[in-house]
Structure 1
Amino acid sequence: MIDSLSKTKLKVATIWLDGCSGCHMSFLDMDERIIELARYIDIVYSPYVDTKEIPQNIDLFIVEGAISTDHDLKIIKEIRKNSKKILALGDCAITGNISSLKNLAGTQAVLEKGYFDLADLNKGQYPDKIVPKLLDKVIPLNEAVDIDYFVPGCPTPADAIFEVIKGLIEGIKVDVSKYTRFGL
């Protein structure tokens, strides 16, 4: 439970790591229900908010996507350090899902395919400073840090996101299987 219904709004942040942003699109698909949530939460960091630094003392950090780069790993550790609770949103965050297909071929094979075999610009040059270094293995969030809540889906349905956030605000445990199931 998050410290619910206090006099101050909950500080909520969202981010996507290695994923397609589909779960963030589902977040927006809550439509008018976002206004209802806005009475109780302030979104202080997100792809929707023009803030560059991850704030401290976040009540709930919603994280979409798997960890596939050294940058992702650094970010998730910073998020854990600065957040009371983390919600893993979507199948990529929970299992690695599509992003983890890279694990079947390995990092070197993926880089060779992308930068040697299929490249049309700068063929044969590995990225250096602009593209973060790929990890040897794509991992779900819980293999790097402790996760407090898991909400599956690909993408996670808007109803599931709304009901879980509302439940956290109200201090009620929500049976997410009523709104989604793994792989849907």
Structure 2
Amino acid sequence: MSTLQQSTDATPRKLTVATAWLDGCSGCHMSFLDLDERLLALAELIDVVYSPLVDAKQLPEQVDLGILEGAVSNENDLQQARLFRQHCKVLISLGDCAVTGNVPAMRNTFPLKAVFERAYYENVTQRPGVIPTIEVPALLTYVQPLHAVVPVDIFIPGCPPRADAIYTILADLLAGKTPDPNAVTRFGA
């Protein structure tokens, strides 16, 4: 894993951070926002350059820290995961969906055809049998955790991880330390 220690220049460079959510509920981003006043302290050290929480529309060419929440369940998720891995020096898998597939992976117990039949034939009242294809990413045959499709540097379990755990891990990274997520969070916590 690359280090994220900040420069020791008189005016240290802020670290760049990008976040996104794949197939999940966005609860991990809500936990990030639950950092409350600690967000102000982080803002002194980082620049969020891409995220659903900011207005940036394109992932920069080089990012210090990428944080992805959610499982990989469609072509868009897969593309986003690959893009983050390509452009982020360090990649964090945030939350149980990203780490294990969790709830989105429950569909793996059914053939994809059965999923479509249930959603677009059995449980609809308007336009039954019409499967949307325009501007809807194609589902992958199986939902996968993030590390199944790209290398991940840090795994932060939790559903969602508590704000305190996220802060501790980010603070360790910013201090140039190797964080120990198992010391501050666990699956389902």
Q: Is the 8 A contact 2:28 2:161 kept in 1?
A: yes
1:99 alignment partner, SS class: helix
Question: Over residues 65-91 of structure 1, what are the superposed CA-to-partner deviations in whole Å (9 max), with x where a residue is unaligned?
Answer: 000001111111111111111000000
Scaled by the length of structure 2, the TM-score of the pair is 0.94
Scaled by the length of structure 1, the TM-score of the pair is 0.96
Q: Is 1:153 matched up with 2:158?
A: yes
Paired residue for 2:106, among 74, 98, 101? 101
Give the superposed CA RMSD.
1.1
Unaligned stretches of 5+ residues in structure 1? none
2:5 alignment partner, SS class: coil
Q: CA deviation at 1:121?
A: 2.5
Question: Over residues 155-183 of structure 1, what are the superposed CA-to-partner deviations in whole Å (9 max), with x where a residue is unaligned?
Answer: 11101110101100001233323321112
Paired residue for 1:135, among 140, 144, 148? 140
Question: Over residues 85-141 of structure 1, what are the superposed CA-to-partner deviations in whole Å (9 max), with x where a residue is unaligned?
Answer: 100000000100000001001211111111111112321101111211000000001
Q: Is the 8 A contact 2:155 2:181 kept in 1?
A: no
Q: Which segments of structure 1 move beyond 4 Å, counting only runs of 4 or more? A: none
- Distance of 1:121 and 1:59 partners within structure 2: 46
Which amino acid counterpart does residue 12 of structure 1 have in structure 2? Answer: V
Between the two proteins, the alignment pairs up a number of residues equal to 184
Question: Over residues 38-81 of structure 1, what are the superposed CA-to-partner deviations in whole Å (9 max), with x where a residue is unaligned?
Answer: 11100010001112212210100000000000111111111111
> Residue in 1 aligned with 2:95?
90
2:117 alignment partner, SS class: helix
1:62 alignment partner, SS class: strand
- Distance of 2:70 and 2:57 partners within structure 1: 19
- Distance of 1:76 and 1:180 partners within structure 2: 23
> Residue in 2 aligned with 1:178?
183
Q: Is 1:19 matched up with 2:20?
A: no
Unaligned stretches of 5+ residues in structure 2? none
- Distance of 1:144 and 1:175 partners within structure 2: 23
> Residue in 1 aligned with 2:57?
52
The percentage of counterpart residues that share the same residue type is: 47
2:177 alignment partner, SS class: coil
- Distance of 2:126 and 2:100 partners within structure 1: 33
> Residue in 2 aligned with 1:79?
84
Q: Is the 8 A contact 1:2 1:59 kept in 2?
A: no
